[in-house]
Amino acid sequence: MNELTLVDAVNQAIAHELASDPDVVVFGEDVGKNGGVFRATANLQDRFGENRVFDTPLAESMIAGLSIGMSTQGLKPVAEFQFLGFIYPAFNQIVNHAARMRNRTRGRLHCPIVFRAPFGGGIHAPEHHSESTEALFAHIPGLRVVIPSSPVRAYGLLLAAIRNPDPVIFLEPKRIYRLVKQDVPDNGEALPLDACFVLREGSDVTLVSWGAMMHETLQAANQLSEQGIQADVIDVATIKPLDIDTILNSVEKTGRCVIVHEAARSFGVGAEIAAQIGEKALFSLHAPVQRVTGFDITMPYFKLEKHYMPSVEKIIAAVNHTMEF
């Protein structure tokens, strides 16, 4: 058994790719000697050398722009942004270049980059450290957006992300970095980057979530089961490209859907999923699709953070609402 937390699984995946592909380089702020502020790159510099695992000066646009230059010339950067909240100086590079280099050059140049960033609330972090803005990236053509919710999926999805020839935004739900351990064999087997994962099967309602909220969603499903409501639970995992078929198949079976995400409600990934269900499975629905999400406000600083976060109770209430519809 190789029991790992999610953050350790991230570390193991990066190490695996460093060992197997000499073009992989790992960098960011404090990723070297310090091993990352969350220890995601712990010991990698010792194991693979300063040539391959290194600290950068403190500048995010630089991290993204460098990654683009490196990746077009044969390297495979795995770059860390210390927190998702600090990726924005790099937005220009990511959106205007990484995401469209392949298209602009009609395939001549491309950017096999993984941009990693811890994100999300619930750890009593300072201001700007807790937002969930995956939708910003999912909206951009040319990017992939991946969010693991368990150690096993963190490992398999990160391997796939590093091997993928296009830029991947790999967002790590830091609230669950150390929540559970799972057996994560270091077998180098990647998971698909275009598939949702069905975590639990049931015929009454479809629960769709990703990232840290998977845990509340699964807890809600367990409690609902005791009430006699059986839920299909889907971990979207790869936000983009969205595997809508898995979700549609489930909704066609259950006729009900509740989407749970920590990000603000409006214009989010949940809205996209609901829209596609409306477009493609309207007549299977017995009730309107519900969203249990953060509010359309700035992520509160931690004293009031819990009032922002979707809870098991809110998920159950939304499910009951769709059941009674």
Partner 1 sequence: MTTAAEFQIEYLQYLQADGKAKSDLPSFASDETLMVNLYKTMVQVRAYDTKAIALQRTGKMGTYASTLGQEALSAATGAAMQKDDVFAPYYRDYAAQIQRSVSMLEIYQYWGGDERGNCYQNNPHDFPMSVPIGSQCLHAAGAAFAFKYRKQNRVAVTTIGEGGTSEGDFYEALNVAGAWKLPVVFVVNNNQWAISVPRGSQTACETIAQKAIAAGFEGIQIDGNDIIACRKIIGDAIDKARRGDGPTLVEAITYRLCDHTTADDASRYREDNEVTNAQELEPIKRTRAYLTDVGFWNDEKEAALQVECKKNVDAVVEQYLNIEQQPLENLFDYHYAELPANLVEQRQEVIEGSL
Ligand X SMILES: Cc1ncc(C[n+]2csc(CCOP(=O)(O)OP(=O)(O)O)c2C)c(N)n1
- Contact residues toward partner 1 (CB under 8 A) are 29-30, 32-35, 37, 55, 57-62, 85-86, 88-89, 124-129, 265-266, 295-298, 300-305, 307-308, 314
Residue 4 tokens, joined? 């790992």
Instruction: Give the residue at shortest CB distance from ligand X.
Output: 86
By CB under 6 A, what part of segment 38-67 binds ligand X? 58, 60
Amino acid at 69: G
| Phi, psi of 117, rounded to the nearest 5 degrees | -155, 130
Q: Return the closest-CA partner of residue 148 out of 195, 207, 84, 210.
A: 210
Q: Which of 82, 133, 209, 246 binds ligand X (CB under 6 A)?
A: 82
* Minimum CB distance to ligand X smaller for 62 or for 195: 62
**Binding ligand X by CB under 6 A: which of 29, 172, 235, 243?**
29
Catalytic residue among 16, 124, 128, 129: 129
Give the nearest distance from C-beta 237 to partner 1 in angstroms: 28
User: Do residues 229 and 204 touch, judged by C-beta distance below 8 A?
Assistant: yes
Token digits of residue 45:
């510099």
Q: Alpha-carbon distance 130 to 240, whole Å? A: 21
Neighbours of 46 (CB within 10 A): 12
Containing 47, the helix (H) or strand (E) segment is helix 44-48
In angstroms, what is the minimal distance from the CB of 130 to ligand X? 13
Minimum CB separation of residue 129 from ligand X in Å reads 8
Q: Residue 238 and residue 315: Cα distance in Å, rounded?
A: 22
Binding residue (CB under 6 A) for ligand X from 54, 86, 91, 301 = 86
- Do the Cβ atoms of 244 and 195 come closer than 8 Å? no
Which of ligand X, partner 1, none is residue 125 near (CB under 5 to 8 Å by kind)?
A: partner 1
- Beta strand 168-173 with 144-146 is parallel
Nearer to partner 1, 125 or 135 (CB): 125
Confirm whether 261 is a catalytic residue: no
Name the minimum Å distance from CB 167 to ligand X.
20
Q: Which is nearer to partner 1, 110 or 314 (CB)?
A: 314
Q: Give the three-state DSSP class for 294.
A: strand
Give the catalytic positions in this structure: 129
Chain residues in the site for ligand X (CB under 6 A): 29, 58, 60, 82, 86
